[in-house]
Structure 1
Amino acid sequence: MQMDDVINRRAFVRSGLLLTATVLGAVACTPTPSRETMPSSTPAPDSSPAPSPGSRVMLAYFSRPGENYHYGDRIDLEVGNTQVVAEMIADAITVDVFRIEAADPYPDDYEQTVQRNVQEENDDARPEIASPLPDLSDYAIVLLGSPVWNVQTPMIMRTFVENVDLAGKTVHPFATYAVSGMGRVRTDYAQLLPGVTVTEGLAVQGEVASQARPNVDAWLRQLGLLGA
């Protein structure tokens, strides 16, 4: 599910802040290529070349299920909108996946999550991530996904980018939103990651995330990650 600024029109009246809605986590690796079997019981060595350092792609994302904004109303989502898009990406190309999950999970209740996000922003907080962070030394490209909350990245995304080594890598952000598009997401990452290449990214409206596969494929093709 997503939390975004449009959602927060009621929350804006209550708290004076607008929250963009969208929609954490073990590293899931791509399957090992199948191996042919020798005529004897001894398996043949895997002839697939090992990936060279920096040739792999990491997909790291944060997504929140539960009660979400939906065309001015609320809807309960078993799978958050950002996760829906992340799974489309993982189905289209070979990536390793790390789901960013809060050590203190966000509430299922939408208004409670709005209030917590406002407090985290006011405190410039860095919410703790539940799982050990991945080693990105073998990755040249990182696809970084989240909802747009209050026109910017959720504070937990700051926790992630400030505690992994993204030096020398290219970051392609993607986000789910209600009405603000990418908001300040790219700007946030560019400011947090000086010297790192951060591209414009992909914005998907949360309510239609399940229909976003053509846009996802076109984006990946534009990045050179998906063949024609």
Structure 2
Amino acid sequence: MNESLSRRTLLTAGLTGITAVAAVLTGCTAEQRPQESPATGERTPRTPDPERTTVSGSRVLLVYFSRAGENYYYRGRRDLEVGNTEVLAGMISDRIDCVTYEIEAADPYPDAYDPTVERNRREQRDDARPAIANPLPDVSGYDIVLLGSPVWNMRTPMIMSTFIEGLDLAGKTILPFVTYAVSGMSGIDDDYRDALPDSEVRDGLAIQGETVAEAAPDLDTWLSANNLV
């Protein structure tokens, strides 16, 4: 969304640039999407494997929330098949050894832009914690957790608060990354520091959603600075 939302309920981010390039997560194992049981047709969530390691020996979990559909685009709108944050997550997974977990809302956000903006405003105002569709991952086997989301109204979406409050991230190294329309990082790494005082939250990476496909140089610099490549 553009900057017509508001700030400070920890983690809600602008439906700003939310996607354009399909991200088939390869470097990371795509453990986040539930699979249908051939016998029952029910969806059985897959659990991340903590044995996956980075080249440095640290076990890494890549977590992201993304939204496709109608998105903000240079003061206008465009429809995206893959959200901008998912595109960036895919670029990360192509570069490092990790496991991925996609945060999916139990009550999916609308495909249309304006209704999503309105819902986000309500959730921020109410300090809501939207439910997550799938079971949360077991993070005990991971040293580093990358947290990705869009920036909605100067914050991450409230569902990111649902995620971090539902797990014990004490002692983990947290690496935030966001896609945005005009806000930049918007202090989201500081929000995580406030919310996760027992974790090491490092400086985040902010990529404008409209330019995410060209983000490789900034992404590589950030990953290198954090000893992931």
TM-score above 0.5, yes or no? yes
The partner residue of 2:2 within 1, 4, 21 is 4
Tell me the TM-score normalized by structure 2.
0.79
CA distance in 2, matches of 1:4, 1:185: 16
- The equivalent of 1:142 in structure 2 is 145
CA distance in 1, matches of 2:146, 2:185: 14
Indicate the RMSD between aligned Cα atoms, in angstroms. Answer: 2.1
SS state at 2:140 partner = coil
- Count of residues in Structure 1 that have an aligned counterpart in Structure 2: 192
1:213 positional shift: 1.5
CA distance in 1, matches of 2:223, 2:187: 21
- The equivalent of 1:34 in structure 2 is none
- The equivalent of 1:21 in structure 2 is 15
Determine if contact 2:52/2:98 at 8 Å carries over to the other structure: no
SS state at 2:148 partner = strand
User: Which residue identity lines up with residue 60 of structure 1 in the other structure?
Assistant: V
CA distance in 1, matches of 2:29, 2:131: 26
Q: Tell me the alpha carbon deviations over residues 101-138 of structure 1, each in whole angstroms, 9 at most, x when there is no partner.
A: 10000000100000000000111000000000000111
- The equivalent of 1:82 in structure 2 is 85
CA distance in 2, matches of 1:101, 1:188: 21
User: Which residue identity lines up with residue 4 of structure 1 in the other structure?
Assistant: N
SS state at 1:133 partner = coil
CA distance in 2, matches of 1:51, 1:86: 17
CA distance in 2, matches of 1:141, 1:111: 35
CA distance in 2, matches of 1:203, 1:218: 12
Determine if contact 2:2/2:72 at 8 Å carries over to the other structure: yes
Tell me the TM-score normalized by structure 1.
0.79
The partner residue of 2:199 within 196, 199, 203 is 196
* Identity across matched positions, percent: 57
Determine if contact 1:4/1:151 at 8 Å carries over to the other structure: no
Determine if contact 2:149/2:157 at 8 Å carries over to the other structure: yes
The partner residue of 1:105 within 94, 104, 108 is 108
- The equivalent of 1:209 in structure 2 is 212
Distance 1:137 1:70, change over 3 A: same
- The equivalent of 1:47 in structure 2 is none
Instruction: Extract structure 1 runs of 4+ deviating beyond 2 A.
Output: 19-22, 27-31
5+ residue gaps, structure 1: 13-18, 32-49
User: Which residue identity lines up with residue 192 of structure 1 in the other structure?
Assistant: A
1:51 positional shift: 6.1
- The equivalent of 1:45 in structure 2 is none
5+ residue gaps, structure 2: 7-12, 19-24, 31-50
Higher RCO, Cα 8 Å, sep 6+: 2
- Flag the structure with higher helix content: 1
Instruction: Spell out the pairing of 1:177-196 with structure 2 (5 A cutoff).
Output: 177-196=180-199
Structure whose CA Rg is larger:
1
1:20 positional shift: 2.6
1:185 positional shift: 1.1
User: Which residue identity lines up with residue 132 of structure 1 in the other structure?
Assistant: P
- The equivalent of 1:30 in structure 2 is 29
SS state at 1:173 partner = strand
User: Which residue identity lines up with residue 14 of structure 2 in the other structure?
Assistant: T
CA distance in 2, matches of 1:57, 1:193: 18
CA distance in 1, matches of 2:81, 2:174: 28
